Amino acid sequence: MKYYVGIDLGGTNIVAGVVDEEYNIIAKASTKTNCPRPEKEIADDMAKMAVEAVRNAKLTMNDIQWIGVGTPGIANSEKGIIEYSNNLGFNNTPMVKYIQETIDKPVFIENDANAAAYGEFVAGAAKGARNAVCITLGTGVGGGIIIDGKIYSGSNFAGAEIGHTVIEVDGAQCSCGRKGCFEAYSSATGLIRMTKEAIAEHPDCIMAKSEKERGKVTARTSFDCMRAGDKYAKAVVDKYIKYLAAGITNTINIFQPDVLCIGGGVCNEGDPLLLPMKELVAKEVYTRNSPKNTEIVIAKLGNDAGIIGAAFLGKAK
């Protein structure tokens, strides 16, 4: 049996996992990222978590083939450098070099959304596809693209930023600097913003009562209150689904993948989200009369997708 280490570097946590050749995670180790702090310190903690995960798996580094890292930002996989990550404060960080100063193994890096997409491609919802797109609806909207079985990262390693395509010209401000981005409307953050706007307009609605009881608005508020009979909550959900369907339709029209998988906490809503969204996409997609259309599915691997995808970067590269 061959073993690999995948590291998911996030703004909050560093998680390392030992993965076997059948895509099973057999042990993990994690620590807080504690940003901002010197990039070398973060790299050292990543190496420590890799070693700890291997120890937890009752293996040694001699059993490990290579280490893969999924990181936010622009990851130059050829030079082993994280060129830029606004969340981590990295600029031209020689991540591969830093890790190899501690662990004498091949190290591969890739953008975290691309790594997660590759995880779904090799072991999850997109397994068996040739071309696939994965979209994650979280704090932002992450994207990963697989073409002919390979990660597509563009000529400058910054490809697949699906969340930063505009679906509402001069719309809501996005953190990237543009207005009206897919991310500004279809992320959990965007859903929360639209929910708060509806509460401000209708202070006596069930959503407003929910906010007072719970002390906050979450991405579940509008869906929960819709089920409780709040017509204003239903209007928020309908608007959210309309924007989500627009972004997904755009993505399908460009790439025409075999499979498009969506992940993130919002997807836990299940059929109340999926069925109307799929219905809208089916009406709007350019190939609506084609005998073969993209299959839209829910991602299967959850938070493990990034670890598994990172662990198999050696094969991807």
Whole-number pLDDT of residue 138: 87
Q: Give the angle 64-60-5 at the CA atoms, nearest 5°.
A: 35
Q: Which residues of the chain have pLDDT under 50?
A: none
Domain residue extents for the chain: 3-121+304-316, 128-298
CATH of domain 3-121+304-316: 3.30.420.40
Q: Are strands 13-20 and 25-32 parallel, antiparallel or unpaired?
A: antiparallel
pTM: 0.90
CATH of 128-298, one of 3.40.50.11890, 3.30.70.20, 3.30.420.40, 3.90.950.20: 3.30.420.40
Written as one string, the DSSP assignment of 142-158 is EEEEEETTEE---TTS-
Is 3-121+304-316's fold the same as 128-298's? Answer: yes
Whole-number pLDDT of residue 35: 87
Give the span between the Cα atoms of 51 and 270, in whole angstroms. Answer: 38
Written as one string, the DSSP assignment of 114-179 is HHHHHHHHHHSTTTT-SSEEEEEESSSEEEEEEETTEE---TTS----GGGSBSSTT-SB-TTS-B
Whole-number pLDDT of residue 88: 87
Whole-number pLDDT of residue 271: 92
Q: Are the C-beta atoms of residues 183 and 165 closer than 8 Å to each other?
A: no
Whole-number pLDDT of residue 265: 86
Give the span between the Cα atoms of 100 and 69, in whole angstroms. Answer: 12
Whole-number pLDDT of residue 18: 98
Taking residue 238's Cβ as centre, other Cβ atoms within 10 Å add up to: 12
Residue 287 DSSP class = T
